[in-house]
Copies of this chain bind each other. A is one copy, B any other.
Amino acid sequence: MSKPLPLLTAPAPERRDAARNREALLRAAAELIEGCDVRAVTMEAVAAKAGVGKGTVFRRFGSREGLMAALLNHSETAWQASVLSGPPPLGPGAPPMERLIAFGESRMRTHLQQGALIEAAGRTWGDNYAVIGFATMHLRYLLRELGVSGDLTYLATALLAPLSLPVLQQQLGFDGMSEERVLAGWQDLVDRIVGS
């Protein structure tokens, strides 16, 4: 008699040792990064500190960038939660425009704070659709709430783009802008797009 094969293949549960190792690796990486330059932390060091072999690190996270992205995922998830159900003005409850401004400021602060890690995660993080996708969706939602008309998906990506780390770094570094000026600039941009 054949098994009742599920129509939708289950998400493949994780073996207990695998879960333990993932946990240990994330903790080890976090501890090593704290106090050292991220770039100086080698994969072998992380593996050693977690008490596993190097192969295991790559099995779990695919690449160095993958490990860094996994670290970022923790704070990203928390951030998403505070956007979806945290206190206003970032979370629900405040008027859309206030939420929008809070969103921009929060994103900018987060990106700058985690700059080194974001760079270390490279494309694995930057191309992470679960991240970009969420922010775009939320922005799109706020724009709709504000009654903006037009291609909201495009406008959302266009509003998100200047909040990306490389752009912020250029503005603060090369262009010599202050954080306040960058923030004010973004708010002005919002006004122009929304049409105040």
Chain B residue, CB-CB nearest to A160: B167
A154 with B127: CB separation less than 8 A? no
Residues of B within 8 A of A150 (CB): 188
B157 with A162: CB separation less than 8 A? yes
The answer to whether the Cβ of A175 comes within 8 Å of any Cβ in the partner chain is yes
Looking at chain A's contact residues, the main secondary structure is helix
Chain A interface residue bracket vs B: 35 or more
Residues of B within 8 A of A127 (CB): 166, 169-170
Residues of B within 8 A of A155 (CB): 185, 188-189
Interface residues, chain A, with chain B CB atoms under 8 Å away: 119, 123, 126-127, 129, 132-133, 136, 150-151, 153-155, 157-158, 161-162, 164, 166-167, 169-171, 174-175, 177, 181-182, 184-186, 188-189, 192-193, 195
